[in-house]
Chains A and B, each alone.
Chain A
Amino acid sequence: MSLLTVSNLSKRYRRGGNTVIAVDDISFHIEPGETLALAGPSGSGKSTIARLVLRLIEPDAGGIEFEGDDFLTLHGAALRARRARLQMVFQDPLAAFNPRATVARVLDDPLRIHGIASRAERPRRIAALLERVGLAADLAPRAIHEISGGQRQRVAIARAIATKPSLIVLDEAVSALDVSVRGQILDLLLDLQRQERIAYLFISHDLGVVRALAHRVILLDAGRIAESGDARAVIDAPQSAIGKALVASAPKLKRTTQDAS
């Protein structure tokens, strides 16, 4: 049984007097411990699909099954409980957190709200979460706006894993990071996937990162699936027009005298 099954999902927006079809009859599935990437140009529907899967917005048509349940009909306590298993990390953690909140507060919330740890136990759990994402425990009293972008994204990952999710939606989660930090965050994500068997819905415009990190990829164009399959097979030999355009436009570093030293 798939972890997540999305069937014939559609979402339209009204913009001005026009109707924009953001997501048009999309179906896919994610297996436990798998990384599925969604890639495509701006406006191809990537982020709309992420928000639909997270139920931040409701679809016009289609179904979402998560861990065997119809995710779209869940509500109340059942929805809250299931949401603990489906977490998210966005591009800009500063926009996702109260900037004045401390790191400890940001991590305390999910532990408290989902009843994962008692008040007495939570400081220890927070320290363990910080350690798990490679941060020092003495970062806990610092304010979110005081720490670096890379540290903030680690805190966002720590918060996401606090509720022991089976799936994390990563919406351009490494796109704004400096390249030196990006590598460390990707390593952390892979390590978590190996240790906890977490699946990722990895949304990115960067085909190089998608090819390196994802098992499978879906290339989107104007809300529809242009092509999909094994990430390396698709990106190494794209068949669709948008796939060819994305590959052609990716900046390429030609290190002719590689490792000259």
Chain B
Amino acid sequence: MTALAAIRDLTVTYRRDGRAVAALKDVSVDIVAGERLAIIGESGSGKSTLALAIAGLLPTTARIEGHIDWFIRPSSILGAQAPPSVLPDISPTRGEIGSSVAGTPPAALEIGESGGDSAISPQVGEMSGRTEGSAVERQLRHLRGGVPLLGRDIGFVFQDPSASLDPVMKIGKQIAEVAHTHLGLGWPQAYAKAKTLLERVRLPDPDSALHAFPHQLSGGQKQRVAIAAAIAAGPKLLIADEATSALDTIVQAEIVGLIRQLVAEDGMTLLFVSHDIALAAELAERIAVFRHGQLVELGTTAQIVGAPAQPYTRALLDAHIGLDAEPLLNRAGLTL
């Protein structure tokens, strides 16, 4: 098992109504290269915050402590071209002060920037008070080893495809743009790639879909387009954050099958964020259960589903109402 990313002591705090709310508390987890890892939890569990943190998409107002070590091969990263502001300064992060987990320097350091960034990155509390530096730059300081780039090294699929697709740009261009930007393809090649991707996500009639606008497609078709755009640059990691939650079960099963196939064909690592433990268990090899911003339990799908160690995991499993559940009507004595 080689890690793709090692998340260490990650704490993310949002300010809400003048109060600090910890969305993630001291989370440490490895993402294994090539695995399908599910992050499950109820609302407020921190599962989406974790996905956003990994993708470097947290809002500027979020305070981040701890770090994420990446072990992505140099051929696939833009680490060497990262802007100067990414280079670490000399103050340690709070996560490192408070913890000894950050012991082993990641292997990726050998190919990354200077080896010096293993223990040095800016102090977060200090940074969050400054106005300089974009959100992405600020978050990159928490990424050590190679610095992955969203769109190129990480593909992200959101719950609502309408929100991630430009409503006034043709489908073909939205996908071709990713290939053009991140793979350096000329536009004709990028469009050819877009058409191939629309075929791969099994969109009916890919030729006319290239020239369609998002509103002309159904919800399931839009999500297929969003997936095509997410994988267009051949990312190492695909993050699907409640990507099927707004779809009916029939379309959901199709999209889950599609994600499974694409991940296998391209050798991607999958991070599948969901509230649905049954759906997660059908797709993932490992499941991480989150609650109130903390990692409750992490194990293989068989362990989590068959022999949960934590009462909360068991409660989640018990709350699932499957097609074989004892009818509530009988329990309530309401059979007509």
Check B328 against A253 for contact (C-beta < 8 Å): no
Check B323 against A208 for contact (C-beta < 8 Å): yes
Query: How near does chain B come to A1, taking the closest CB pair, in angstroms?
Result: 16
| A contact residues around B334 at 8 Å (CB) | 33, 35, 190, 193-194, 215
Q: Per a CB cutoff under 8 Å, which of A42, A207, A211, A256 touches B327?
A: A211
Q: How far is the CA of A247 from the CA of B335 in the complex (A)?
A: 23
From residue 225 to 259 of chain B, which have CB atoms closer than 8 A to chain A? 247-254
B166 at the interface (CB under 8 A from A): no
| B contact residues around A206 at 8 Å (CB) | 249, 321
**Binary contact track B64-85/A, C-beta < 8 Å → 1, others 0:** 0000000000000000000000
A75 at the interface (CB under 8 A from B): no
Check B219 against A42 for contact (C-beta < 8 Å): yes
Q: A42-B219, A252-B282 are in contact. Are A209 and B321 (CB under 8 A)?
A: yes
Check B276 against A208 for contact (C-beta < 8 Å): no
Q: How far is the CA of A246 from the CA of B219 in the complex (A)?
A: 17
Check B42 against A180 for contact (C-beta < 8 Å): yes
From residue 212 to 261 of chain A, which have CB atoms closer than 8 A to chain B? 212-215, 232, 235-236, 245-257, 260
Check B43 against A149 for contact (C-beta < 8 Å): yes
| A contact residues around B305 at 8 Å (CB) | 253-256
Query: How near does chain A come to B323, taking the closest CB pair, in angstroms?
Result: 6
| B contact residues around A83 at 8 Å (CB) | none
B101 at the interface (CB under 8 A from A): no
Closest to B256 in A: A251
**Binary contact track B292-310/A, C-beta < 8 Å → 1, others 0:** 0000000000100111000
A178 at the interface (CB under 8 A from B): yes
Q: Per a CB cutoff under 8 Å, which of B254, B275, B277, B329 touches A253?
A: B277
| A contact residues around B129 at 8 Å (CB) | none
B136 at the interface (CB under 8 A from A): no
Check B320 against A194 for contact (C-beta < 8 Å): no
From residue 212 to 231 of chain B, which have CB atoms closer than 8 A to chain A? 218-219
Interface residues on B, range: 35 or more
Closest to A40 in B: B248
Q: How far is the CA of A116 from the CA of B29 in the complex (A)?
A: 57
A186 at the interface (CB under 8 A from B): yes
Q: A42-B219, A208-B321, A212-B328 are in contact. Are A178 and B42 (CB under 8 A)?
A: yes
Stretch at the interface among B54-62, B108-116, B145-153, B311-319: B311-319
Check A247 against B219 for contact (C-beta < 8 Å): no
| A contact residues around B279 at 8 Å (CB) | 251
Q: How far is the CA of A240 from the CA of B165 in the complex (A)?
A: 36
A205 at the interface (CB under 8 A from B): yes
| B contact residues around A256 at 8 Å (CB) | 302, 305-306
Q: How far is the CA of A251 from the CA of B247 in the complex (A)?
A: 13
Q: Per a CB cutoff under 8 Å, which of A190, A245, A251 touches B332?
A: A190
**Binary contact track A128-166/B, C-beta < 8 Å → 1, others 0:** 000000000000000000000100000000000000000
Q: Per a CB cutoff under 8 Å, which of A34, A186, A236 touches B336?
A: A34
A70 at the interface (CB under 8 A from B): no
Q: A31-B336, A252-B282, A255-B306 are in contact. Are A232 and B277 (CB under 8 A)?
A: no
| B contact residues around A180 at 8 Å (CB) | 42, 315-316, 319
The 15 sampled A-B contact pairs (Cβ below 8 Å) are A31-B336, A33-B336, A41-B249, A178-B43, A179-B275, A179-B320, A180-B316, A182-B319, A207-B249, A211-B321, A211-B325, A246-B249, A247-B323, A249-B254, A251-B281
Across the A-B interface, give the 5 residue pairs with the lowest CB-CB distance, nearest first: A249-B253, A251-B278, A178-B42, A179-B319, A190-B332
Beyond A213-B328, A249-B254, 19 additional pairs, beta carbon < 8 A:
A31-B336, A41-B248, A42-B248, A178-B275, A183-B319, A193-B332, A194-B332, A208-B322, A209-B321, A215-B336, A235-B323, A246-B249, A246-B250, A251-B276, A251-B282, A252-B282, A253-B281, A253-B305, A260-B307
